[in-house]
């Protein structure tokens, strides 16, 4: 957690140093999934690089990643991190806000431990890949970008599907800065 306290200011400093670029045509965006950080303690940091007026390539790091919205209470412990790569398409809007849709690939690595009645602890290996689709809306105000999104993905690990489900749903509210 201490690393995160240094990572976020470093990202903000990077954004400030690149502020000299034109605010009219930003080339990048750093963001945080604010809602999931508050609700489930999953820190989801992202970066988008705009390759055109209405397209971008994104990468996200999900620290303390959870499968869907499963709780980590009652002897259950998620110890997982994910990396997500996406290609984002923006449409149906203007410079103040647009709908977006993003096909993505996510790889989660880590494990899930759960206390079983009297027989110790069961561990599930969460190492698996996912292919999915994100959809949402993003507002842009003075280069601050924010908006809700929802995502659905299909996992390709039989071990994870046996313990949880092959289909994963997540949602959130991204807050970011374009530079």
Task: Note the pLDDT of residue 20.
Answer: 46
How large is the average pLDDT for residues 171-179? Answer: 96
Residue 65, strand partner residues: none
Residue listed under structure tokens 């950080």:
37
Task: Note the pLDDT of residue 68.
Answer: 72
How large is the average pLDDT for residues 133-137? Answer: 98
Tell me which architecture the domain covering 2-178 has in CATH: Beta Barrel (2.40)
Looking at the predicted structure, is the pLDDT value of residue 141 above 70?
yes
Residue listed under structure tokens 């957690």:
1
Task: Note the pLDDT of residue 76.
Answer: 77
Indicate whether this model's pTM tops 0.85.
Answer: no
- Host H or E run for residue 99: strand 97-116
Query: String of b and e for 14-50 (b: at least 16 CB within 10 Å)?
Result: ebeeeeeeeeeebebbbbbbebbbeebebbbbbbbeb
Looking at the predicted structure, is the pLDDT value of residue 16 above 80?
no
Q: How far apart are CA 55 and CA 77, in angstroms?
A: 37
Task: Note the pLDDT of residue 67.
Answer: 77
Structure confidence by residue, pLDDT tens digits, 81-115: 999 999 999 999 998 999 999 999 999 999 999 88
Q: Would you place residue 128 in the very low, low, confident or very high pLDDT band (cuts 50, 70, 90)? A: very high
Nearest to 145 by CA among 20, 42, 39, 50: 50
Looking at the predicted structure, is the pLDDT value of residue 23 above 60?
no
Nearest to 47 by CA among 97, 96, 85, 95: 85
| Helix, strand, coil shares, percent, the chain, to 5 | 15, 60, 20
Percent of the chain residues topping a pLDDT of 90: 67
Looking at the predicted structure, is the pLDDT value of residue 41 above 60?
yes
**In the predicted model, what is the mean pLDDT of the chain?**
87
* Contact assessment for residue 97 and residue 76, using Cβ atoms and an 8 Å cutoff: no
How large is the average pLDDT for residues 122-140? Answer: 96
Task: Note the pLDDT of residue 116.
Answer: 82
């Amino acid at each position: 957690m201490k690393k995160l306290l240094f990572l976020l200011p470093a990202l903000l400093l990077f954004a400030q140093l690149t502020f000299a670029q034109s605010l009219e045509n930003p080339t990048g965006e750093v963001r945080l999934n604010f809602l999931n950080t508050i609700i489930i303690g999953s820190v989801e940091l992202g970066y988008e690089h705009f390759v055109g007026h209405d397209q971008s390539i994104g990468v996200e790091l999900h620290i303390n990643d959870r499968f869907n919205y499963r709780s980590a209470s009652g002897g259950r412990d998620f110890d997982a991190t994910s990396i997500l790569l996406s290609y984002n398409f923006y449409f149906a809007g203007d410079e103040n806000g647009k709908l977006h849709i993003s096909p993505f690939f996510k790889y989660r690595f880590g494990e899930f431990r759960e206390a079983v009645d009297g027989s110790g602890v069961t561990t599930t290996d969460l190492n698996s890949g996912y292919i999915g689709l994100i959809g949402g809306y993003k507002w842009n105000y003075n280069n601050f970008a924010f908006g809700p999104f929802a995502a659905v993905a299909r996992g390709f690990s039989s071990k994870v599907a046996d313990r949880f489900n092959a289909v994963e749903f997540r949602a959130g509210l991204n807050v970011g800065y374009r530079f």
